[in-house]
């Protein structure tokens, strides 16, 4: 039997999972999959590392499988259908580690209680991330679990980068910039030395462009600034999230539009960003293929805001040696990368068009003062590595 680590990423309506075999020093992906629409029309699918479908299952419309039923299905699939593997530990993606957690940590009841306190800081994600941890603690107390935080990588940022200009009492109470997508940035920081050792020792900006999108300034592999702040709605416009807003807009919506907190939350998380501006879709592929002027406008605004954020992060770094694109859009859209790089010419980026069309990894010319790269992220592998390390 080969020892294996399961990685779980539980959201409001889905649980994604991966299984890694511990082969000596390496961690090899064996299977990945997800249970989706777990409260409405649940479906399950699992694929092998090379993309071959291993199992699918659907439940009747209206079945409320929930996190509990979904987790049960995933665990029994791993036990009954994945042969030759012995599940030794589980690593979880947890969005918020608060002020305290700058490293992944082994789960026990005290930690779970501690992380439940942070639900108020990330009400849309934290409760769902914690649901499978709680269930496994109850059902399989002997199975070691490790919580890996999206905020942890940014805890090393200089104090100034973490501050809002608010009264100290609020800062002390935890109202600060946390930054998110930390597991993705940490993974990129771990592979950048293989591609561009000089930039890895120097200054780079990583663009994680997916449905959620953010950017992070790395100095010698450590996060020094990021576009997301107190919550994952800050910074860049995203699929459905607004990104940074003048706080006065929120007051206007409260006072003049009579909206309450929940209605504003729904607006800025679910109805804004690419979807809100275009009125067409939150999906970048759809927008790039659309003739609608508002679809074009949404993409133009996206590119413009990335350019503004890039200038800000390059200023925080005092210069720039490399740009790195990752996430669904960053890894797959040559058009978005080309437009971002063109706007970054003032920072010394010269795009190699053919290399960009081919998907990289290097997409800047040999003469480009600042390099540009496409590097696929792998948050699951980062969590599996952390889980192994945290358990010694
Ligand atoms: P998540 O943040 O949910 O993990 P992903 O990282 O998978 O999301 O990114 C999803 C986004 O990537 C969608 O907007 C999708 O349209 C976009 N995307 C995927 N492939 C392409 C492509 N070839 N061209 C443009 N956009 C793409």
Q: For the domain that residue 97 is a member of, what is the CATH number?
A: 3.30.420.40
Which pLDDT belongs to residue 123?
Answer: 84
For residues 316 and 350, give the distance between their C-alpha atoms in angstroms, rounded to a whole number.
22
Which pLDDT belongs to residue 131?
Answer: 93
For residues 373 and 185, give the distance between their C-alpha atoms in angstroms, rounded to a whole number.
14
Give mean pLDDT, residues 229-241.
96
Nearest alpha carbon, ligand 1 atom 20: 332
Helix (H) or strand (E) holding 317: helix 293-317
The string of pLDDT tens digits covering residues 62-110 is 888 999 999 999 999 988 888 889 999 999 999 999 999 999 999 999 9
How many angstroms is it from 57 CA to the middle of ligand 1?
A: 25
Which pLDDT belongs to residue 121?
Answer: 86
How many angstroms is it from 203 CA to the middle of ligand 1?
A: 26
- CA nearest neighbour of 329 among 301, 288, 295: 288
How many angstroms is it from 175 CA to the middle of ligand 1?
A: 31
Which pLDDT belongs to residue 80?
Answer: 85
The reply to whether 110 and 16 lie within a common domain is yes
150 is catalytic: yes
List Cα–Cα distances, 258 to 236, 241, 252, 261, 268, in angstroms.
Answer: 26, 21, 9, 10, 15
For residues 8 and 15, give the distance between their C-alpha atoms in angstroms, rounded to a whole number.
7
Which pLDDT belongs to residue 120?
Answer: 87
For residues 114 and 110, give the distance between their C-alpha atoms in angstroms, rounded to a whole number.
6
The reply to whether 206 and 294 lie within a common domain is yes
Q: Taking CB atoms and a 6 Å cutoff, what residues make up the pocket around ligand 1?
A: 210-212, 239, 283-285, 288, 327-329, 332-333
For residues 298 and 310, give the distance between their C-alpha atoms in angstroms, rounded to a whole number.
18
Q: Which atom of ligand 1 is nearest to the CA of 336?
A: 25
The reply to whether 225 and 96 lie within a common domain is no
Which pLDDT belongs to residue 23?
Answer: 84
Which pLDDT belongs to residue 105?
Answer: 97
Which pLDDT belongs to residue 63?
Answer: 86
The pTM of this model reads 0.95
Cβ–Cβ under 8 Å, residues 13 and 36: yes
Residue 304: pLDDT over 90: yes
**225 within a domain of the structure (yes/no):** yes
Q: What is the 3-state secondary structure (H, E, C) of 205-242?
A: EEEEECCCEEEEEEECCEEEEECCCCCCCCCCCCCCCC
Lowest-pLDDT range, 35-49, 295-309, 333-347? 35-49
Query: Which two structure tokens, joined as six digits, stand for 288?
Result: 């790039």
Which DSSP string do the residues of 230-298 spell out, in sequence order? SSTTSSS--SS---S--HHHHHHHHHTS---HHHHHHHHHHS-HHHHHHSS-S-HHHHHT---HHHHHH
Query: Which two structure tokens, joined as six digits, stand for 37?
Result: 């629409």
Number of domains in the chain: 2
Report the residue among 95, 214, 329 best suited for mutation to probe ligand 1: largest number of ligand atoms under 8 A from its CB: 329
Nearest alpha carbon, ligand 1 atom 21: 332
Q: At what angle do helices 247-255 and 261-270 cross, to 10 degrees?
A: 130
Domain boundary among 118, 149, 180: 149
The string of pLDDT tens digits covering residues 310-364 is 999 999 999 999 999 999 999 999 999 999 999 999 999 999 999 999 999 999 9
How many angstroms is it from 76 CA to the middle of ligand 1?
A: 30
Which pLDDT belongs to residue 241?
Answer: 95
**391 within a domain of the structure (yes/no):** no
Mean pLDDT over all residues of the chain?
A: 96
Residue with tokens 């192994």: 388
**186 within a domain of the structure (yes/no):** no
How many angstroms is it from 326 CA to the middle of ligand 1?
A: 10
The reply to whether 145 and 224 lie within a common domain is no
Which pLDDT belongs to residue 279?
Answer: 97
CA triple 31-103-196, angle to 5 deg: 70
Cβ–Cβ under 8 Å, residues 169 and 50: no
Residue 355 CB neighbour total at 10 angstroms? 17
Which pLDDT belongs to residue 329?
Answer: 97
For residues 161 and 169, give the distance between their C-alpha atoms in angstroms, rounded to a whole number.
18
For residues 265 and 253, give the distance between their C-alpha atoms in angstroms, rounded to a whole number.
11
**76 within a domain of the structure (yes/no):** yes
For residues 214 and 243, give the distance between their C-alpha atoms in angstroms, rounded to a whole number.
9
Query: How would residue 166 be classed by pLDDT, with cut points 50, 70 and 90?
Result: very high
Active-site annotation holder among 150, 196, 234, 321: 150
Which DSSP string do the residues of 68-123 spell out, in sequence order? HHHHHHHHHHHHHHSTTEEEEEEEEEES--TTT-SS-EE--HHHHHHHHGGGGGST
Nearest alpha carbon, ligand 1 atom 23: 332
Q: Which atom of ligand 1 is nearest to the CA of 274?
A: 14
Residue 303: pLDDT over 90: yes
Which pLDDT belongs to residue 122?
Answer: 87
- CA nearest neighbour of 16 among 79, 81, 82, 91: 91
For residues 58 and 131, give the distance between their C-alpha atoms in angstroms, rounded to a whole number.
22
Q: Which domain holds residue 318?
A: 197-379
Which pLDDT belongs to residue 148?
Answer: 98
Query: How would residue 124 be classed by pLDDT, with cut points 50, 70 and 90?
Result: confident
The reply to whether 246 and 120 lie within a common domain is no
Q: Which atom of ligand 1 is nearest to the CA of 287?
A: 16
Pairing outcome for strands 371-374 and 322-326: parallel
The reply to whether 12 and 128 lie within a common domain is yes
**390 within a domain of the structure (yes/no):** no
The reply to whether 218 and 77 lie within a common domain is no
The reply to whether 222 and 131 lie within a common domain is no
For residues 163 and 161, give the distance between their C-alpha atoms in angstroms, rounded to a whole number.
6
The reply to whether 209 and 347 lie within a common domain is yes
Give mean pLDDT, residues 103-132.
93
Which pLDDT belongs to residue 224?
Answer: 98
């Amino acid at each position: 039997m080969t020892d294996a680590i399961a990685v779980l990423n539980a959201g409001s309506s889905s649980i994604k999972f991966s299984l890694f075999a511990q082969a000596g020093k390496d961690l090899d992906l064996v299977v990945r999959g997800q249970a989706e629409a777990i409260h409405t029309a649940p479906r399950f699918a699992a694929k092998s590392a090379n993309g071959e479908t291993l199992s699918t299952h659907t439940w009747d419309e209206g079945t409320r499988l929930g996190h509990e039923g979904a987790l049960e299905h995933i665990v029994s699939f791993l036990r009954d259908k994945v042969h030759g593997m012995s599940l030794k530990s589980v690593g979880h993606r947890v969005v918020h580690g608060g002020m305290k957690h700058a490293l992944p940590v082994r789960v026990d009841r005290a930690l779970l209680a501690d992380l439940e306190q942070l639900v108020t800081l990330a009400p849309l994600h934290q409760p769902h991330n914690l649901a499978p941890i709680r269930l496994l603690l109850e059902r399989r107390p002997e199975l070691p679990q490790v919580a890996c935080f999206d905020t942890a990588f940014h805890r090393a940022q200089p104090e100034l980068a973490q501050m809002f200009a608010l009264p100290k009492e609020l800062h002390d109470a935890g109202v600060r910039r946390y930054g998110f997508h930390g597991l993705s940035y940490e993974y990129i920081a771990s592979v950048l030395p293989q591609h561009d050792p000089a930039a890895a020792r120097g200054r780079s900006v990583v663009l994680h462009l997916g449905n959620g999108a953010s950017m992070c300034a790395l100095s010698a592999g450590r996060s020094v600034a990021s576009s997301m702040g107190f919550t994952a709605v800050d910074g860049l416009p995203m699929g459905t999230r607004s990104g940074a807003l003048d706080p006065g807009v929120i007051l206007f919506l409260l006072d003049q539009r009579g909206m309450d907190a929940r209605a504003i939350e729904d607006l800025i998380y679910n109805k804004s960003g690419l979807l809100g501006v275009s009125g067409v879709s939150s999906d970048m592929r759809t927008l790039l293929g659309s003739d609608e002027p508002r679809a074009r406008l949404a993409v133009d605004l996206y590119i413009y805001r990335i350019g503004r954020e890039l200038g800000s992060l390059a200023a925080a770094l005092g210069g720039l040696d490399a740009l790195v694109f990752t996430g669904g859009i960053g890894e797959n859209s040559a058009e978005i990368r080309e437009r971002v790089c063109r706007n970054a010419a003032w920072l010394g980026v010269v795009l190699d068009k053919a290399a960009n069309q081919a998907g990289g990894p290097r997409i800047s010319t040999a003469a480009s003062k600042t390099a540009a790269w496409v590097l696929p992220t792998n948050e699951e592998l980062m969590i599996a590595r952390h889980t192994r390390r945290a358990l010694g």
